[in-house]
Amino acid sequence: MTTNNTQSQVYDVVIMGAGIGGVCQARHLLLNIPNIKIALVDPRPEERTDRDMKVGESTVEISTLMICKELGLYDYMIENHPPKFGLNFHWAKEAGKTENTEDYYHIWTVKQPPLASVLINRPKFERDLLRMNQDMGAEFYNGRVVDVDLTPGDELNTVHVKQGDRYLELKTKHVIDSAGRKFLIGRKTDNLITSPENLYGINNGSVWMRVRNVDRTIFHSGYDPYVCTCSHYYAANHWMGHGHWVWMLPTDTQNMELSIGLLYHHDIISPHSVNTKEKFYAFLEANHNVVYRLLKSGEEVDFHHWPRIAHKSKQMYSQDNWYIIGDAAAIFDPFYSQGLTMMSFQIESVTEIIRAKLAGEANAKEKCALYNKFALNMIDRTNVLVSRHEKQIGDASIMTWRMYLENIWWFKMLIPMFVGKWHLDLDFLKNVVAKPGRLYVVQIMNAVYEHLDELVERKANIGFLHTHIADQLPFGFTMSNDFDNFLHLTKYEPQRANIYVSIQWSHFFVALWYLKFLWKAYGLKGVLSPHNLKHVFALFKAFLEAAWDHLIFRIKTKNIPGNSIIANIRQEFKNYRAPAKLEPWLEEVTEASNGNVTTQSRELVKAEV
């Protein structure tokens, strides 16, 4: 392309897009690679407006760990963004009767979660973090990327930027696409998949808006002493219905700002029926009147409609030094807030690939290949978690059983994997993630979803599972307790949390869940069906394989402390001796007088006192 080059700079990394993915990636690189030279490019100014909003205001445990722990932003998040107390789910007891919260069946979060989560005011977060990155040395170009020249191997890439009436060329060793649905690299490399048949049939759209100064008592008074020890309002509330769900997320504590959105499936709800603010209001009034009343109680801020949501990438990280993260890489459905979760894994992987390549490490290419394989694997697994929602999501019995199973995968395997940084360990990726059948807890989900479709068709009631209650599987199983106790032992360093024991017992309890499900849905005949028993035996086989891995891990790490910092504190404390007396409080007092220093005795000081 022809350019009027007023500036040409060379960087280690150019990040296209300064949304949540771009600013988080930049900070992670700056914290982990000394003296790295980074540029961020975005058409939005530094002081972007409060109307600059998109889907994704809710974090879960992994994305909170990324933002707060890995980026060092605990204090900032506490001081600037609302807390979040888990996920609540609501199904109307009777169609057409949704005036009040009491008209719904509920899964409430019942207690303070062991790992915190936060709700994000996206414009504020992105403004503030961009400023922090600039203070750390990153450069920001307020311009639009008009083209990117990707080169083979380690040759410099070129990002062409239009800034006002001039064009800039930014040369870079590594280029990251975090520009969201502009798909800068996706379209450049024919890397994008959008057809529902290649996305497990997911064909959905979204409508959402924000309002301020709502009357939250329309939703709940806040008084519920016998059910929970946390806030119902400051949670991610999901209002469920046939072929859709509605989110309700508070994003600000000062002006009672609320994000309310609809995720709908095209097979059930036409995009044309909800594509304006008036139609969205009408939909809520008819299907979730309590949410409609809440929305109408506030002052409108903005309105958005995306007729199509789901997409994914064929490749995430290239040996040619380009990378795709965040919404540019994949999104399917914000149901479990998995977009920011995938982004968290992506950020750490990209930083490690770039660090290894800049350092000239011999295994840098192997890391790129395996991390890419893991990322694509995770995309598909996350995709499965929201497949077949169109028929199942409005059925409280079916969905509570389904969500219970999916939460085992989340709490018992994915969280310890992130905490222990196992997604960055090459041996783990080669021996576990890359081998079909090793994580059968994920493979069984397709089989279960087929069962659930059949149960929906015959309107079966198989009971109600509550994700947060501990008496539904044997042996006192709960979602919040981890098998390795890594939270209580602060095993936060890489490869300290025992992922193998998590894999082991996850498969065991999924097997128990599956047997209970078969019994409730089909009776003894379903339990003894050869087709179903095949899955049960596969789960127990995976349990035994992981038990062996667990034993080997225990032997290898026998003399390694769970947390080296705490181990050092304990070692230092062996030299501790309780003080026998107070230290001398004041030996002498010096004071300056006319440039001369005089000394007063302790007795004089005592006398003055």
| Domain co-membership, 489 together with 443 | yes
| Residue 134 placed within a domain | yes
| Residue 341 placed within a domain | yes
| Domain co-membership, 461 together with 379 | no
- Of all residues in the chain, the percent with pLDDT exceeding 70 is 93
Q: Is the pLDDT of residue 482 over 50?
A: yes
Give the pLDDT confidence score for residue 542 in this predicted structure.
94
Give the pLDDT confidence score for residue 439 in this predicted structure.
85
pLDDT per position as a tens digit, 534-591: 999 999 999 999 999 999 999 999 999 999 999 999 999 999 999 888 777 655 544 5
Q: From residue 394, how far is each of 101, 128, 205 by CA, in Å?
A: 16, 39, 17
- Domain of 187 in residue numbering reads as 1-82+119-192+314-383
CATH number at residue 378: 3.50.50.60
| Domain co-membership, 374 together with 426 | no
Give the pLDDT confidence score for residue 256 in this predicted structure.
87
Mean of the per-residue pLDDT values for the chain?
92
What tokens were used for 475? 């042996």
Least confident of 97-101, 293-297, 402-406, 575-579: 575-579
Chain-centre distance for alpha carbon 163 = 33
What tokens were used for 75? 């204090």
Burial class (CB in 10 A: 0-12, 13-18, 19+), 473: middle
Residue 172, φ and ψ in degrees, nearest 5: -155, 145
Give the pLDDT confidence score for residue 584 in this predicted structure.
73
Q: Is the pLDDT of residue 273 over 70?
A: yes
| Residue 534 placed within a domain | yes
Q: Which amino acid is at 198?
A: N
Q: pLDDT: is 427 or 603 the higher one?
A: 427
Q: Which amino acid is at 136?
A: M
Residue 350 CA to residue 356 CA, distance in Å, equals 10
| Domain co-membership, 375 together with 427 | no
| Domain co-membership, 340 together with 458 | no
| Domain co-membership, 456 together with 332 | no
Name the pLDDT band for 1 (thresholds 50, 70, 90): very low
Average pLDDT over residues 214-225: 94
| Domain co-membership, 480 together with 562 | yes
Residue 597, φ and ψ in degrees, nearest 5: -105, 125
Give the pLDDT confidence score for residue 46 in this predicted structure.
85
Give the pLDDT confidence score for residue 587 in this predicted structure.
52
Burial class (CB in 10 A: 0-12, 13-18, 19+), 309: buried
Least confident of 140-144, 169-173, 181-185, 429-433: 429-433
Number of domains in the chain: 2
Residue 193 CA to residue 198 CA, distance in Å, equals 7
| Domain co-membership, 449 together with 576 | yes
| Domain co-membership, 334 together with 453 | no
Q: Is the pLDDT of residue 506 over 90?
A: yes
Chain-centre distance for alpha carbon 147 = 30
| Domain co-membership, 141 together with 65 | yes
Give the pLDDT confidence score for residue 601 in this predicted structure.
47
List, as one string, the DSSP characters of 207-252: EEEEEES--GGGT--S--TTT-SS-SSSSEEEEEETTEEEEEEEEE
pLDDT per position as a tens digit, 350-409: 999 999 999 999 999 999 999 999 999 999 888 899 999 999 999 999 999 999 999 999
Q: Is the pLDDT of residue 65 over 70?
A: yes
| Domain co-membership, 372 together with 435 | no
Residue 432 CA to residue 370 CA, distance in Å, equals 12
| Domain co-membership, 346 together with 471 | no
User: Is the separation of the CB atoms in 132 and 38 below 8 Å?
Assistant: no
| Residue 106 placed within a domain | no
| Residue 437 placed within a domain | yes
pLDDT per position as a tens digit, 128-177: 999 999 999 999 999 999 999 999 999 999 999 999 999 999 999 999 99
Give the pLDDT confidence score for residue 382 in this predicted structure.
87
- Of all residues in the chain, the percent with pLDDT exceeding 90 is 83
Q: From residue 145, how far is each of 123, 138, 381 by CA, in Å?
A: 21, 18, 32
List, as one string, the DSSP characters of 22-48: HHHHHHHHHHHSTT--EEEEESS-TT-
Give the pLDDT confidence score for residue 604 in this predicted structure.
46
Q: pLDDT: is 432 or 65 the higher one?
A: 65
Name the pLDDT band for 442 (thresholds 50, 70, 90): confident
| Residue 143 placed within a domain | yes
Q: Is the pLDDT of residue 264 over 50?
A: yes
| Residue 159 placed within a domain | yes
| Residue 49 placed within a domain | yes
Q: Is the pLDDT of residue 605 over 50?
A: no
Q: pLDDT: is 46 or 547 the higher one?
A: 547
